[in-house]
Structure 1
Amino acid sequence: MWIITKIGFFSVVEKPEDAEGGNLTIRSRVRSDLENLRDRYLPDMGEIGDSTASDYRFRAVAPRDAVSAAMAALVAGIDYSNFKSAVSVTQGYGRAEVYGHVWGELYRLQSGRFEAPADDPRMI
């Protein structure tokens, strides 16, 4: 699951090693995003790993229930009427601009311009 918030961008997944312990892996492209999440909403998050050998450089593991509670707290704390403007205030214009590009790409779904070739390696 991709989660884009005013404190950061996260990819939350259940790795095979997570399932047995009731954990989830939270990944990010920016270390400070995970630090923000841990400091504000997810104190049970484990150590943040750093690896240039994977597509998400930064990752940490946390109990599934704690991740769920953190996501609920993020939703409960929504205090803005325009997401990109809130991001600009909390993380700066550069991050808001990146999110604006994501918004534009996702707009393609609404406009029906989203078909990719079946053999597109980005779809794996």
Structure 2
Amino acid sequence: MVRARVRAHLEALQARFPELLGSCEIREFPGADYAWRIFVPKSVWAEVVRCLVEDIDYDNFKAATARRQGPEGRAYVEALHVVWSTMLGLQRQQP
């Protein structure tokens, strides 16, 4: 199972990997912490992740995301910055 908070993210994965994910139905689970899900065999998901890792061509995830998302993805990029800030605070608490 692959979960997402934004349906468009799963749709983008399907578009990128139609041969692996194109036949997988995106299902909605209203009220769940991740409202959108697709169910795929672990071996299929492992292949998707392998391909995604090979495609990494950036050194800064948030900056690359902002470029790729454009103005429509502003809320998503802002959420990434909130997560980054929260985790930085946790790091700074370490002895």
Give the structure-1-normalised TM-score.
0.64
| Aligned counterpart, 1:104 | 85
**Secondary structure in structure 1 of the residue aligned to 2:51:** helix
C-alpha displacement at 1:42, in angstroms? 6.2
CA distance in 1, matches of 2:86, 2:15: 31
| Larger fraction in helix | 2
| Correspondence for 2:13 among 37, 48, 54 | 37
Aligned-pair Cα RMSD in Å: 1.7
The secondary structure found in structure 2 opposite 1:62 is coil
Q: Which residue of 2 aligns with 1:82?
A: 60
Equivalent pairs counted in the alignment come to 89
SS in 2 for 1:59: strand
**In 2 relative to 1, CA 64–110 (structure 1 residues): closer, same or farther, beyond 3 Å?**
same
SS of residue paired to 2:37: strand
CA contact (8 A) 2:6 2:36 kept: yes
Greater fraction of residues in strand: 1
Distance in 2 between residues matched to 1:42 and 1:70, nearest whole Å: 11
Unaligned runs of 5+ in 2: none
Whether 1:71 aligns to 2:49 is yes
Residues 30-76 of structure 1: per-residue CA shift (max 9 Å, x gap)? 11100111221364332000121312111110111111111111111
Q: Distance in 1 between matches of 2:64 and 2:41?
A: 29
